[in-house]
Chain A
Amino acid sequence: MKKSKDFRREPLTDTQLLMTITICIFVGMYLLAMLIFKGGFLHAQQVFDMLNDNASLIIVSCGLTVVMIGRGIDISVGAVTSFVVMSCVLYLNKGGSLFVSVLIALGIGLAFGIVQGFLISYLEIQPFIVTLAGMFFARGMTTILSVNPQKAAHEGFAKLRETKIVIPWLGYIAKNGKLVPARVELGVVVALCCLLAVFLLLMFHRLGRALYAIGGNPSSALMLGINVKRTRFLSYVISGLLSGISGFVFMMHTGAANATNAAGMEMNAIASSIIGGTLLTGGVGNVIGTFFGTMTLTTIKKIVVSSGLNAPWWQSITTGGMLCFFILLQSVVLSQRARKKKA
């Protein structure tokens, strides 16, 4: 009897199921794109470009996933990112040190996380309103610092920005016959580290598990002896901190600050999380899924461009359609599952 138990494969949990669906769709979509559009899709650099362009989005999406698993929402992430970029660029241009600018980025993120987390979990104010105010505040502060675009002119930073990981064997032969090696920005490394850290935190740290418990059923979580308030508070702190990191990575990618930086990033991050299988109702989701959510969103945009739909509206219309597809799919899959369980 015991043996047969060990051989039995467990059915997937909700989190695993939704994540698997996303990964399959992403892989399928990418393979299809390789077959149909060839061109860029055949080069590894295509994937690296997608990563280079979206490193900071991946980081804030991780933060959002964390918050959403605990039944929260944080729409300040994009604005905080922008605020961090502006602060750091201005500081660097005043001749500040690179190290301190990293601290500034982390500090701003942490400060937002702590204040928002406190208001939400200890004063029980609706997260949407608190983080909306956070978003307004960060956007306003950004323009107060500077309305005009600022280019970072700092030697150390420029060096850091130029540092790229070169992978020759993943390169391709360009038309002129020269080998173009694959290039990966440092931001991508940071993003992947964040992803790994959050993944480990969610999977193996008691804080992460407590967060899942709260998302599953907050009153049960309380009964199980989990400090619900502190856990929720920390989830916002994590999200804030990741926004800070995202700001620095964003700056490394663009090398300049602009008041409109990262506009709409919060909604992209939410969309990434949702496509990756995170439910706003909490308790279900995973950062690996979120990563593939981001990649799926980006791939769609690339496919739209490759398929010749050049009119500027197609990208977001297809994104919206894709979002709609995923949301409905999840709704159907989960309700189907619930029905099967009942029978």
Chain B
Amino acid sequence: MAMQESNLLEMRHINKFFPGVKALSNVDFTLRKGEIHALMGENGAGKSTLIKVLTGVYQSDGGEITVDGKNVAIRSPQDAQNNGISTVYQEITLCPNLTVAENMFIGRERGPFVRQKDYKKRAAELLGELGIPARGTQQLGDCSLAVQQMVAIARAVDMKCRVLVLDEPTSSLDDKEVNVLFNLMRDLKSRGVGIIFVTHFLEQVYAVCDRITVLRNGELVGEYLTEELPQVKLVAKMIGKDLEELKSLGEVEEKKSDIKEIFYEAKDLSSSEARPFDFNIHKGEVNGFTGLLGSGRSESVRAVFGADKVTGGQVQVNGKNVRITKPIDAMKNGIGYLAEDRKRDGIIADLSVRENIILAAQVMKGFFRPISRSEAEAFADEYIKVLNIKTASRETPVGSLSGGNQQKVILARWLLTHPNYLILDEPTRGIDVGTKLEIQKLVLKLAEDGVAVTFISSEIEEMLRTCSRLIVMRDRNIVGELTGADLNEAQIMKTIAGGEAANEKEV
């Protein structure tokens, strides 16, 4: 790729290491003036890392960045801002205790004094222009997440940036808000701003983007014009050569649907986060919850496990009425739950692999009956071997393992409790393909042994390969249940998108 006049931003040979992982390996990226450029890849492909290198949150371990043909060193978010690079992240990076107006202007004042009045005025103008339903004088924390996200975008827009990075900004926005955002993006594009757009939603890519760069496992797959890359090919590029292998896995494992007895059944179960829903699962069954982010799929399984405050409903386990209001209740009924956010809700980072593995089993055994050291070591060694966990030793702090191995440690933790029903919320997020396959195989094997499994994943193919029944959610409600022949991507998309429920509910 020769250096071109219109190349606004070039990243060359970017490398980035984390303890135990190579997050980026020799990645190139080019952004031209007035273009919307999608950065695609599976979870863990290195998109976020690349973005964070560009915005100065991480420092690259090699490679160079040029803006407008000039070499720049980006060591901090301030450096990025000074080079005309603005970013809007998926998680809100604003201060909830300040007003909307202040959040838009803080950190880029000229002169020592803050002109609150000017801010208020300019904020009002900008908010009106962009159609954001907020007032400049409002405390940001009082606004909805979507509005907070829009404020972050407004801030970036106002900064007269040349490069605008949007890192999954749409996950908390509804359709109308997404359209507002798209119009805004097109407007900026016409003004010559280069936009890097990271998203999970393929339709959105085809709606606004000119070019697509695909990453996989921290490496560059290629750069394509959007019109030259049909959706199917894009998915193939993202999943890569493992596509064949994945297919074969799906074919080899014949999904059995012989009816076994119901293990868990909930009626009108609701929690502080989830609307009332009915749900059941049979022994030896793998089912899945699917839907877009924010559709309520995680909230529903959290309600099953008692992770949020349960507000109502009847639950039967093995045909007996039980009350599950806290995680320990669920655990005592043989339910295990691997949480969506591994860092926040899963690993105890500073504790060793051994301690992390025995944690749940220890809790179930009771406070006064500790698992002895030798027993714990035996358990740890066993599961390190069974799950092929790559760790220096069983005493290594789990935080220093790679994402996939951390996930395996948490899986081991729940397997050690010998659950009858295991809920896996995004167990494959942000981990490498090899480990993903291992986890999928494990799920199928567990089901064979009679364990009921609920499997949630953002990647639909993965769900299709493992689940024999899919529950589809939209807007925090269950909108359909798919089994048998209906288990295909088109049908799922149709159900998620709405319209007619794909299938009559069947139990």
Interface residues of A (CB under 8 A from B): 2, 5, 8, 10-11, 13-15, 203-210, 212-213, 215-217, 219-227, 283-284, 341
Contacts and interface: CB of A to CB of B under 8 A. Distances in A.
A209 B97 CA distance: 11
* Chief secondary structure at chain B's binding surface: loop
Chain B interface bracket (under 10, 10 to 19, 20 to 34, 35 or more): 20 to 34
A68 to B, nearest CB: 13
Given A209-B102, A213-B106, A225-B81, A283 B95 contact: yes
A339 to B, nearest CB: 10
A209 B109 CA distance: 11
Contacts of B113: 204-206
Interface string B75-100: 01110010000010100111111110
A220 B102 contact: no
B141 interface: yes
Contact of A213 (B57, B107, B112, B116): B107
B108 interface: yes
10 contacts: A10-B135, A11-B142, A13-B139, A205-B112, A209-B114, A210-B107, A220-B92, A220-B95, A225-B107, A341-B141
Interface in B337-358: none
Given A213-B107, A215-B97, A283-B97, A11 B139 contact: yes
A217 B95 contact: yes
B106 A210 contact: yes
Contact of B78 (A10, A13, A14, A225): A225
A219 B139 contact: no
Nearest to B139: A13
A210 B142 CA distance: 20
Given A204-B113, A206-B109, A225-B108, A220 B97 contact: no
Contacts of A204: 113-114, 116
A213 B107 CA distance: 9
A5 B99 CA distance: 16
A166 to B, nearest CB: 36
Nearest to B155: A224
The 10 closest A-B pairs by CB, nearest first: A216-B95, A225-B107, A216-B97, A283-B97, A224-B107, A223-B93, A220-B93, A213-B95, A13-B139, A226-B107
Interface of B: 57, 76-78, 81, 87, 89, 92-99, 102-103, 106-109, 112-114, 116, 128, 135, 137-139, 141-142
A226 B97 contact: no
Contacts of B89: 223
Contacts, number: 88
Contacts of A223: 57, 77, 87, 89, 93
Given A213-B107, A341-B141, A224 B93 contact: yes
Nearest to B99: A13
A341 B97 CA distance: 14
B139 A14 contact: yes
Given A10-B135, A11-B138, 9 more contacts: A13-B97, A203-B116, A206-B113, A207-B112, A217-B96, A220-B92, A223-B87, A227-B78, A284-B97
Contacts of A225: 77-78, 81, 107-108
B97 A212 contact: yes
A226 B93 contact: no
A206 B137 CA distance: 17
Contacts of B76: 222
A82 B98 CA distance: 36
Contacts of A2: 128
Given A10-B138, A204-B114, A226 B106 contact: yes
A47 B2 CA distance: 77
Contacts of A221: 95, 107
Contacts of B97: 13-15, 212, 215-216, 283-284
Nearest to B111: A206
Q: Which of A10, A210, A224 has the most CB of B within 10 A?
A: A224
Contacts of B108: 225
A234 to B, nearest CB: 12
Q: Which of A2, A212, A215, A220 has the most CB of B within 10 A?
A: A220
B226 to A, nearest CB: 29
Q: Which of B57, B95, B102 has the most CB of A within 10 A?
A: B95
A332 to B, nearest CB: 18
Contacts of B81: 225
Given A10-B137, A11-B142, A220-B95, A205 B107 contact: no
Nearest to A223: B93
A224 B106 contact: yes
Nearest to B86: A225
A8 to B, nearest CB: 7
B93 A219 contact: yes
A66 to B, nearest CB: 15
A341 B144 CA distance: 9
Q: Which of B98, B137, B138 has the most CB of A within 10 A?
A: B98
B433 to A, nearest CB: 30
Nearest to B103: A224
Nearest to B102: A209
A203 B99 CA distance: 12
B139 A212 contact: no
Contacts of B137: 10
A322 to B, nearest CB: 26
Nearest to B104: A224
